[in-house]
Amino acid sequence: MGNLYNYLVAFSAAMGGLLFGYEIGVIGQVLTMDSFGLLFKIKYINGSGSVVTTPDTDNWTGWITFMFLIGCVFGAISVSYLADFLGRKRSIILGSLTFLVGVTVQVVASTIAVLYTGRFISGFAIGLLSMVVPLFISETAPTEIRGRMIAVQQLMITIGILLAAIINSIIIKVGTATGNFEWRLGLALQGIPGIVLFLLTFFIPYSPRWLANNGRDDEAIAVLAKLRSEPVDSAAIRTEYDDIKASIEMERQVGTADWSELVKPGMLNRVVLVVLLQFFQQWTGINVILYYQDRLVASMGFDPSAAQIPFNIAINTFNMLGTFPGMYLIERLGRRKLLIVGGLGMATALYITCFSLVLSQAHGKGFAWVAICGVFLFELSFASTWGPVVWVYQSEMFPLRVRSKGTGCGTISNWSNGAIISKVSPFISTSMGFYQYLVYGTFGFLMAAFTYLVVPETMGKSLEAMDNLFGADNSMFRHRGEGKAASYDVEFAITENQ
């Protein structure tokens, strides 16, 4: 029963992930709608009466995506303060309300400036939620299933993407003669999961660790007891609470909860590690494929008008299904092995996609179908490894006193790199064509090597035990695998002395 309630809490909070997933899914299709393009001057009607793109289409579509992601950056920065000041639960409430404001502004937009404003506001909300939701889940989950429950957020993201693909495909099919209504409806439907998230937040508890850190001891014990389905006076609850309280007291003696602590020994190494992990996650190329699926379909030689909808739904279905093996394996193989296997899998898939597309130009669509299989393999590899694992890892590696700030640094890295990619990827696609996938595939090999050399295993360790794993210096890590994934030895070699 305890685990059931934990999962209900995790799924409720992870509705924030569904908001982001739906946004990814909806904007990719909205950008292809003729009525949207004509209103915002991304497309025009030529002399023969056909709707065609303008020479600046890449620039404008890049900015529409970029404004959302820049909003995400600022949201991630703000939550580093809000999560501590308001608490995790109230920050989720704030994020849901802010998202609804952003959706409303986008829906009523008739000028590009108003659309940009709505995109920024929605992005701010998603940036806030993308950090505070896994943070909240990590602080409410039992150690033995913490990774799986944080991965629920990634599952909800993929469900949101798939729902958007299905709903907007229906809108496109039946709404061709309804003018601006079709794209406004597609954007407006984002508000439904936003409202659901807002309502669900009234049924989730406060983080017991946040309560304990703010001196609300009785409330913290009561929340722990409900989460674990144990009496408040049970030995298990008392032991867990005492560990949390002891960790908080120790942290207060060790350092203050300000930004300067992130550059101290034993903390800077974690910040650098999580920033690089989020950098690599974005440079897998996942958002290039999700945002610009219409271009991918066209490059394969298929008719976009006929192939876009089934391809869009199929690829997003694979993306969702791929999350389940990751949720299962994250507490069996561990974080480290999944990251290594995922990096190699994505790299292989993108290399297959690239060379198959090249061959399809000379030898027909048979190779294009091989490229499609490569894309599906990429989606499965990402969704089961780097999609959920990086967020899990980030949420569990920092001590409570700086957890919101440390995870904020990682989240800022994620959204900043996502913004850069959204702006440059249309031009990379135009200039490099099929060979752009070699760039992202090479990053896959690099991230596998990076994980093997640098990333320690955190599976099976309590949040209060992470200081022992990451040590008290800013060293690089060397690993020796011994037995199960959770038993990696970690040696700390101070680089400046070598």
172 domain residue, yes or no: yes
Residue 220 domain-assigned? Answer: no
Strand extents, DSSP E, 78-232: none
* 222 vs 237: CA distance, rounded Å: 9
Per-residue pLDDT, averaged over 358-376, amounts to 82
State pLDDT tens for residues 292-305: 666 677 666 666 66
CB neighbour class for 177 (10 Å; exposed up to 12, middle 13-18, buried from 19): exposed
Asked if residue 209 is part of any domain, the answer here is no
Residue 5: pLDDT band (50, 70, 90) is confident
Interatomic CA distance for residues 315 and 304, integer angstroms: 15
Examine residue 247 and state whether it is found in any structural domain, yes or no: no
From residue 73, alpha-carbon distances to 27, 76, 129, 295, 412 in Å are 18, 5, 11, 27, 5
- Please give the Cα distance from 274 to 271 (Å, whole number): 5
Higher-confidence position of 125 and 395: 125
Question: What pLDDT, on a 0 to 100 scale, did the predictor assign at position 489?
Answer: 35
Other Cβ atoms closer than 10 A to 7:
16
Q: Is the pLDDT of residue 338 over 50?
A: yes
Vertex 410: Cα angle to 114 and 150 (nearest 5): 95
Rounded Cα distance, 99 and 91, in Å: 12
Instruction: Say if CB 411 and CB 278 are below 8 A apart.
Output: yes
For 201-213, the pLDDT digits (tens) are 888 899 888 898 8
Is 217 a domain residue?
A: no
pLDDT at position 464, please?
A: 65
pLDDT digits (tens, 9 = 90+) for 48-84: 877 777 777 777 777 888 899 889 889 988 877 888 8
Name the DSSP class of 53: E
Report the distance separating Cα 153 and Cα 11, nearest Å. Answer: 7
Instruction: Examine residue 49 and state whether it is found in any structural domain, yes or no.
Output: yes
Indicate the pLDDT class of residue 498, thresholds 50, 70 and 90: very low
Distance (Å, whole) CA 174 – CA 134:
38
Tell me how far the alpha carbon of residue 420 is from its chain's centroid.
16
Least confident of 10-19, 126-135, 262-271, 469-478: 469-478
Residues of the domain holding 469:
2-204+255-497
Domain assignment present for residue 214? The answer is no
Over the Cα atoms of the chain, what is R_g? 23
Please give the helix or strand (H or E) that residue 389 lies within, else none. Answer: helix 386-396
- Hey, which of 9-23, 306-320, 434-448 has the most confident mean pLDDT? 434-448
Total of domains in the chain: 1
Is residue 234, in this structure, part of any structural domain at all? no
Residue 299, domain CATH: 1.20.1250.20
* More confident position, 128 or 55: 128
Q: Give the integer Cα–Cα distance in Å for 126 and 98.
A: 9
Q: Are 303 and 350 in contact (CB under 8 A)?
A: no
Mean pLDDT of the chain: 81
pLDDT at 114: 94
Distances (CA, A) of 17 to 22, 29, 138, 263: 9, 19, 15, 30
Q: How many Cβ atoms are within 10 Å of 161's Cβ, its own excluded?
A: 26
Taking the alpha carbons of 342, 347, 351, 354 in that order, is the dihedral positive or negative? positive
Q: What is the pLDDT of residue 477?
A: 47
